[in-house]
């Protein structure tokens, strides 16, 4: 894969700021390859996997803002994915709203949930914050499971119409792939701009040393809340696209396996980097499918992968690249 | 710089901090004029760091007032004091460990930069100019602290002495009006201490007011215009170093009680 050649992270890989970011050529090459992938795939099954890869990449990029840049572990991210998915699904199936309006609304509703939950949970840090997000996530899951009038409970919502934009309907895997790919590239660029801005440097300063960041004028709570809300908004949009693509959603989308999946993708790929979550999503989807015969045992493989990464490769798979290039390029990534 | 030289930049009156039944700082008055280097000394547990934490905003006072640059700043949080131009270093070395030395200093310029995320997305002219300026200032700052040759090294990988200098470079990157240094010479050998003395003199020459907590009497005597002495949270003496360090009461509570590596 060529995506891991870009690795613009919370540092100064580009050298002189204000110039053309380093690896622009690699970035263009990577985008081009991603653009022709569906034609190389050749069958609907592989195209479907490509969509899942991009969806997980999008969701992982959003979670990476919390885990990688702010340095807090959230066990609640899947709940915001679910909020976005249900918002758009309910609006389109019950109110008949065009999914294209539902998509931004899904982001806004998820961000509102993120604002309220973040406002409460970001008062504490570290393990306490992680536990609180787990609690809030479980509450959202339980409410979704039991508020049958609105969500149809465990039966889920089916017959969700596909997204459409004018004459284009994103019913098939190939169209959806391009839609999500575009979003992944946009979010990747937004993350790149973030870490090269005053705002993103404040995020990373808070992650590295919150008391020191505060003494330099950074409002730690507001900074974290901003990152959390942006991350949940992106998660909501990702969830909505998932709902319109798969056409059926159940409360399982908020379940613990999805929470774990997103964390595994971010950590195994490389937290605090942009290529990491995209690469991690590829590894996750690839293993998920190729180990399908192993059934539930796959979870053991993923657990081992996560543990092994944390112990032996704390910077994730992308850090192999910087190790190979030399220690000078190890930057901004995980602690 | 709105405060003229010799005008009072920091004034503290009746500052008190109580932890449960312990009064760590009791009714302390002190004032610092713009451009001064003022030392705060006292035996361990005298309340120096508690006083510093109140000045830096990380600890709200139980009673008393803090005025900085003419405005009442009592009880303001840390980031608000930082925004007003009070920078500090910490007693235990405090840097951004997994960032390069250069990025440590760039990240510290939050107070003096403006172009945020949106500007970076659209790569506006203001953003590009500010980034170039930020890079230049950061390199100047590193050169000032003799770290420019270590710009690409992770802060974690710096030596102890280099990390202590990086802390000062970080604090200076915020372009502070008042710099609070908490035991900057701790763990330094005499040669490094001498280097620190020269650095503090150059910081003063840049127009930054300095308040430092320090145990090394040689450093204190060499750079400070005035000293305040705390003992058990109470101010027991103040004045020029020559006078304070010869004060029998100061010698009794402080110099006579523990070994001073002067």
Taking a C-beta distance cutoff of 8 angstroms, is the pair A50, A245 a contact? no
Place of tokens 């172009």: B115
- How far does the CA of residue A328 sit from the closest CA of chain B (Å)? 7
Which residues in chain A are closer than 8 Å to B77, comparing Cβ atoms? 214
Strand-strand pairing, B234-239 and B226-231 = antiparallel
- Is residue A19 one of the residues assigned to a domain? no
Residues of A with Cβ-Cβ distance to B131 under 8 angstroms: 17-18, 196
Residue B256: per-residue pLDDT: 61
Cβ of A212 within 8 Å of Cβ of B120? The answer is: no
Residue A4: the pLDDT is 36
- pLDDT for the residue B257: 55
Per residue in A106-132, pLDDT (tens digit) is: 999 999 999 999 999 999 988 999 999
Domain membership flag for residue A77: yes
Identify all chain B residues contacting A331, using CB atoms and an 8 Å cutoff: 99-100, 103
Q: For the domain that residue A86 is a member of, what is the CATH number?
A: 1.10.3470
Whether the CB of B119 is below 8 Å from some CB of chain A: the reply is: yes
- The pLDDT value given to residue A3: 34
Query: Are the Cβ atoms of B103 and A214 closer than 8 angstroms?
Result: no
| B91 CB within 8 Å of a chain A CB | no
**B1-85+176-262 in CATH: which number?**
3.40.50.300
Enumerate the domain spans of chain B.
1-85+176-262, 100-175
Q: Is B149 on the interface with A (CB under 8 A)?
A: no
Name the residue among A289, A324, A212 with its Cα closest to residue A56: A289
Q: Would the pLDDT of A14 be above 50?
A: no
DSSP E strands in A140-251: the ranges are 163-165, 168-170
Average pLDDT over residues A28-33: 80
How close, in Å, is residue B136 to chain A by CA atoms?
Answer: 10
Q: Which of B68, B86, B98, B180 to mutate to test the interface with A (most CBs of A within 10 A)?
A: B98
Set of chain A residues whose Cβ sits within 8 Å of the Cβ of B83: 217
Average pLDDT over residues A249-275: 90
Q: Does B151 touch chain A (CB under 8 A)?
A: no
pLDDT tens for A70-84 read 999 999 999 999 999
Count Cα neighbours of B181 within 13 Å in the Cβ-side half-sphere.
33
Which residues are registered as beta bridge partners of B30?
A: B12
The answer to whether residue A126 is domain-embedded is yes
* Token pair for A189: 């660029």
For residue B165, the distance in angstroms to the closest alpha carbon of chain A comes to: 15
> In terms of Cα–Cα distance, which of B239, B20, B134 is closest to A198?
B134
Give the ipTM. 0.89
Q: Average pLDDT over chain A, rounded to whole?
A: 84
Q: Is residue A21 part of a domain?
A: no
pLDDT given for residue A329 in this prediction: 44
A151-208 residue pLDDT tens = 888 888 888 888 877 777 777 778 888 889 999 999 999 999 999 999 999 999 999 9
Is there a domain that residue A31 lies in?
no
Q: Give residue A199's pLDDT.
A: 92
* Of A70, A49, A168, the residue nearest A122 (C-alpha): A70
| Mutant choice from A9, A13, A17 vs B, greatest count of B C-beta within 10 A | A17
| Ranges of residues in chain B whose predicted pLDDT is under 50 | 1-2, 259-262
Q: What is the pLDDT of residue A165?
A: 76
Label residue A15 by pLDDT band (50, 70, 90): very low
Residues in A closer than 8 angstroms to B100, CB to CB, are 11-12, 331
Count Cβ atoms within 10 A of the Cβ of residue B121 and give its class: 0-12 exposed, 13-18 middle, 19 or more buried: middle
Put simply, the answer to whether B79 touches A220 (Cβ < 8 Å) is: yes
- What kind and span of H or E run contains A79? helix A77-94
Domain extent, residue A51, equals 37-329
- Which of B90, B131, B174 lies at the smallest CB-CB distance from A216? B174
Q: Do A18 and B132 touch (CB under 8 A)?
A: yes
- Contact yes or no for B200/B223 (Cβ under 8 A): yes
What residues of chain A, 185 to 224, have a C-beta less than 8 Å from chain B?
189-190, 193-194, 196-202, 204-205, 208-209, 211-220
Give phi and psi for A163, each to the nearest 5. Answer: -65, 145
């Amino acid at each position: 894969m060529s995506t891991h050649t870009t690795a613009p992270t919370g540092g100064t890989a580009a050298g002189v700021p204000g110039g053309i970011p380093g690896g622009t050529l690699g970035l263009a090459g990577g985008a081009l390859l991603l653009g022709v992938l569906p034609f190389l795939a050749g069958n609907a099954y592989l195209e479907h996997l490509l969509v899942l890869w991009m969806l997980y990449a999008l969701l992982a990029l959003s979670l990476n803002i919390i885990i990688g840049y702010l340095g807090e572990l959230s066990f609640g991210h899947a709940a915001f994915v679910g909020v976005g998915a249900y918002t758009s699904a309910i609006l389109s199936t019950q109110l008949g709203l065009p999914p294209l309006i539902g998509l931004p609304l899904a982001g806004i509703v998820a961000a509102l949930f993120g604002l309220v939950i973040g406002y409460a949970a970001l008062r504490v840090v570290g393990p306490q914050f992680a536990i609180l997000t787990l609690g809030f996530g479980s509450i959202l899951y339980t409410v979704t499971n039991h508020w049958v009038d609105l969500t149809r409970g465990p039966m889920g919502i089916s017959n969700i119409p596909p997204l459409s934009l004018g004459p284009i309907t994103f019913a098939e895997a190939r169209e959806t792939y391009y839609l999500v790919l575009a979003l992944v590239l946009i979010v990747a660029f937004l993350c790149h701009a973030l870490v090269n801005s005053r705002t993103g440097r404040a995020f990373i300063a808070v992650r590295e040393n919150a008391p020191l960041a505060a003494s330099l004028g950074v409002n730690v709570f507001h900074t974290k809340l901003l990152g959390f809300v942006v991350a949940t908004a992106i998660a909501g949009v990702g969830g909505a696209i998932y709902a319109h693509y798969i056409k059926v959603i159940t409360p399982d989308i908020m379940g613990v396996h999805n929470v774990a999946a997103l964390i595994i993708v971010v950590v195994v790929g490389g937290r605090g980097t942009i290529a990491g979550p995209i690469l991690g999503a590829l590894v996750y989807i690839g293993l998920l499918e190729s180990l399908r015969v192993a059934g539930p045992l796959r979870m053991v493989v993923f657990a081992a992968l996560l543990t092994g990464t944390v112990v032996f490769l704390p910077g994730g798979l992308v850090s192999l690249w910087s190790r190979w290039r030399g220690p000078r390029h190890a930057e901004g990534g995980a602690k | 710089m709105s405060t003229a030289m010799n005008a009072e930049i920091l004034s503290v009156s009746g500052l008190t901090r109580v932890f449960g039944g312990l009064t760590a700082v009791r009714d302390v008055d002190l004032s610092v004029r713009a451009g001064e280097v003022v030392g705060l000394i006292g035996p361990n547990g005298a309340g120096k760091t508690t006083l510093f934490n109140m000045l830096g905003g990380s600890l709200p006072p139980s009673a008393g007032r803090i005025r900085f640059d003419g405005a009442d700043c009592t009880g303001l949080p840390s980031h608000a004091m930082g925004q007003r131009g009070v920078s500090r270093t910490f007693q235990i070395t405090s840097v951004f460990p997994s960032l390069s030395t250069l990025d440590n200093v760039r990240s510290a310029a939050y107070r003096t930069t403006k172009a945020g995320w949106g500007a970076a997305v659209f790569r506006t002219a203001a953003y590009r100019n500010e980034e170039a300026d930020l890079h230049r200032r950061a390199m100047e700052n590193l050169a000032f602290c003799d770290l420019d040759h270590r710009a690409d090294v992770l802060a974690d990988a710096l030596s102890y002495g280099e990390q202590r200098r990086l802390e000062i470079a970080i604090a200076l990157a915020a372009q502070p009006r008042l710099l609070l240094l908490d035991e900057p010479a701790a763990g330094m050998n005499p040669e490094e201490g001498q280097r620190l003395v020269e650095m503090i003199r150059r910081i003063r020459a840049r127009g930054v007011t300095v308040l430092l907590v320090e145990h090394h009497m040689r450093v204190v005597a060499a750079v400070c215009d005035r000293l305040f002495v705390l003992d058990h949270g109470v101010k027991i003496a103040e004045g020029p170093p020559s006078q304070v360090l010869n004060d029998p009461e100061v010698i009794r509570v402080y110099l006579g009680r523990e070994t001073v590596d002067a």
